[in-house]
Structure 1
Amino acid sequence: MNASANTVYQIPAIETREGAGVTVYRTIGTPQLRNFDPFLLLDHIDSDNPKNYIAGFPSHPHRGFTTLTYILDGQMTHQDSLGNSGDLGPGSVQWMKAASGVIHSEMPKQKDGLLRGFQLWVNLPAAHKMDRPEYQEYAASAFPVIRTPTYTIKVLVGSYDDTTGPIKDNITSMSFLDVQLRPRARFQITSPVTHNRFLYLFEGDGTFEGDNVASHSLIIPDADDNLVDFTASEQGARFLIAHAQPINEPIARQGPFVMNSRAEIEQAARDYQSNQLVRGAALHRHGK
């Protein structure tokens, strides 16, 4: 199922297992919402039980899209086939344009304690699916934070008003924000009418255009309304909000590969099996 115009969706997260057995809460990429162009998947890790995350995400391939990993609490280590490695700590972000092919792993550095974060997959158009991979990693201090008496906004990708984050997606003009509201505070934001937009609530609860919203829920506003209007409850609320230009191309998807046709998926699988997935891939690394 794909989200369409003139509909407001509220989608509760589905608990599932990923990697070597990591518990994640998934909204985009489920039977309720297979894709939300250009967004392909949104996973949320939130556990202080090591059994839910310690197995991590051992080496696995990607082709045809970009991943954004945002850590709120805890520590993850990263390694990939292009020679990149790094540690993602609280507040840090990894932006990895897998494009033509990357094999990587993401493993918890901690053995206990709270691990909390997100991974968002963003599609690439056909003209860029076989681009050279790019890797960016940023510490928490790299992201601007806007503070007012009623809300705090961390700008991760794109911009909010006159504040711009360090990551820019020139393909989809994406913006991605972490918003925290004080109790009973109201937050409104507009985005280009041509963009698809979502809100994912992960702390507290509140109302969206008068409808109650529980934690671990994804909201997709009416496609004809570019205003997002959320009011926190007496507990306050915290959510991710994103918008981007849809690509409007066919999507063929199988596991870690997202292309435009079944033939391209089969080619990606053959390339991986024959160790050709990352052949000739050049690395573009950006600053922390």
Structure 2
Amino acid sequence: MSQSSRKTEHIVQGQPTRDGAGVNLIRVLTQQWQRRLDPFLMLDEFRSDDPNDYIAGFPEHPHRGFETVTYMLAGQMRHKDNAGHEGVVGPGDVQWMTAGKGILHSETPEQVAGLMHGFQLWINLPAKNKLAKPSYAEVPAAQIPVVTTDEGHRVKVVAGSWNDIVGPLQRPDTNPVYLDIQLTSAQPLFVPIPAGHNAFVYVVQGQPHVAGQTIAPRRMAILSNDSQATGVLLQGQAGDQLLVLSGQPLGEPIVQWGPFVMNTRSEIEQAISDYQSGQL
């Protein structure tokens, strides 16, 4: 396959915010970019070694119409929901929850001190699946493949695939690719991206070049949708860490009200009514 890199179209700086019962986090992908980055709806990073920033967690709250992907780098978070699922997500683990027709869940830190660091990504569901039965999957770090590239870099395949290495999480319709990349040298690395996917790179650590442009840490680089491009070229220094995400756009209306993401306002009103009446 020829290597032609997408360009950096926009650079977005994450915005500090508070969510849940007072958890401090950086909101990277906001509603402003939902249409451009369809099927991705939101990306939050939480990173603090001050327990006051995270200890209150996220008490029980509802979701409908999309999927959440929680990826922990440090610390531990307990998930519990009204469908009977419960578990702890620790360093390197991934939790993938499909809210579908509706779920009530809580996310509570299991630690009282130390670094809490991770991400939560929201991925839209197609209209045909928005009222599907909720489901939940936990994937321990040991089950997530880590590939050492020819250049010596490390690629953790959370979802989708890296060449012929398939990650543990696959989804139809949106076909998301979720890669956690650790650079080990200044050797360039070309990351394939499926044609037609919307894609972005988030810099966790370091100041690497993304398609030739230097990107500061905690910034999202939205990649162009050049039909001739086959991926994105990365280059940095040992220790640089990046998330590369791409997905097949659904091309459907996006109507969000807080924790509900549907296709029409009437569906949102129904979700609110169902929640208030205990029918979610």
Give the TM-score band, short-chain normalised. Answer: over 0.9
Deviation at 1:144, TM superposition (A): 0.8
Q: What residue is the counterpart of 2:20 in the other structure?
A: 19
Q: How does 1:194-213 map to 2 (within 5 A)?
A: 194-213=196-215
- Structure 2: tracts of 5 or more residues without a match: 1-5
SS in 2 for 1:25: strand
Contact 1:184 1:236 in 2 (8 A): no
What is the Cα deviation at residue 226 of structure 1?
Answer: 3.7
Please report how far the alpha carbon of residue 261 of structure 1 lies from its aligned counterpart in structure 2 after TM superposition. 0.5
Match of 2:236 among 221, 232, 251: 232
Matched, 1:252 2:249: no
The 1:261–1:30 alpha-carbon spacing in structure 2 relative to 1, beyond 3 Å, is closer
Q: Letter of the aligned partner of 1:275 in structure 2? A: G
2-structure distance, mates of 1:250, 1:108: 35
Tell me the SS of whatever aligns to 2:239. strand
Distance in 1 between the 2:31 and 2:39 partners?
15
- Bigger drift between 145-154 and 40-49 goes to 145-154
The answer to whether the 8 A contact 2:68-2:123 is kept is yes
Secondary structure at 1:91 match in 2: coil
For the 8 Å contact 2:254–2:262, the answer to whether it is kept is yes
Indicate the residue corresponding to 1:65 in structure 2. 66
User: Cα RMSD (Å) of the superposition?
Assistant: 1.5
Match of 1:183 in 2: 185
Cα offset, 1:30, TM superposition = 5.1
Q: Deviations over 1:77-111 (max 9, x none)?
A: 01001011000111111000101000000010000
What is the deviation of 1:193?
A: 1.8
For 2:265 and 2:93, the matched residues in 1 are separated by 35
Which residue of 1 is the match for residue 155 of structure 2? 153
CA contact (8 A) 2:43 2:119 kept: yes
Percent sequence identity is 45
Alignment of 1:161-176 (within 5 A): 161-176=163-178
What code does the residue aligned with 1:8 have?
E
Structure 1 stretches of 5 or more lacking a match? 278-288
8 Å Cα contact 1:198/1:219 also seen in 2: yes
Q: CA deviation at 1:190?
A: 2.0
Q: TM-score, normalised by structure 1?
A: 0.91
SS in 1 for 2:56: coil
Aligned to 1:263, what secondary structure does the other structure show? helix
Aligned mates of 1:165, 1:243 — CA distance in 2: 14
1:264 matched to 2:267: yes
Partner deviation per Cα, 1:110-154 (whole Å, 9 max, x = no partner):
001000000000001111100111110111111111124531011
- Distance in 2, matches of 1:122 and 1:259, equals 12
The 3-state SS of whatever aligns with 1:8 is strand
Question: Could you tell me how far apart the structure 2 residues matched to 1:123 and 1:64 are?
Answer: 7
The structure-2 alpha-carbon separation of the partners of 1:122 and 1:196, relative to structure 1 and needing over 3 Å to count, comes to: same
Change (3 A) 1:95 1:222: same
Once superposed, which parts of structure 1, at least 4 consecutive aligned residues long, lie more than 2 Å away?
none
Partners of 1:165 and 1:49 in 2: how far apart?
A: 33
Task: Report if aligned partners of 1:198, 1:218 keep a CA contact under 8 Å in 2.
Answer: yes
Residues 232-265 of structure 1: CA deviation (Å, up to 9, x unaligned): 14x5310111111000000110100000011110
**What is the distance in 1 between the residues matched to 2:114 and 2:76?**
10
Classify the secondary structure of the residue corresponding to 1:26.
strand
Q: Name the SS for the 1:170 alignment partner.
A: coil
Check whether the contact 1:92–1:139 (CA below 8 A) recurs between aligned residues: yes
1:274 alignment counterpart:
277
Letter in structure 2 aligned against 1:263: S
* Letter matched to residue 252 of structure 1: V
Preserved CA contact (<8 Å) 1:202 1:215: yes
Task: Describe how 1:128-143 pairs up with structure 2 within 5 A.
Answer: 128-143=129-144
Contact conserved, 2:20 with 2:59, CA < 8 A, in 1?
yes
Amino acid at match of 1:135: Y
Asked whether the equivalents of residues 148 and 155 of structure 2 are also in contact (C-alpha less than 8 Å), the reply is yes
SS of 2:272's equivalent in the other structure is helix
Contact kept in structure 2, 1:185 and 1:236, CA below 8 Å: no
2:48, 2:25 → 1: CA distance?
A: 9
Distance 2:179 2:208 in 1: 18
Report the alpha carbon displacement of residue 230 of structure 1 after superposing the two structures with TM.
Answer: 1.3
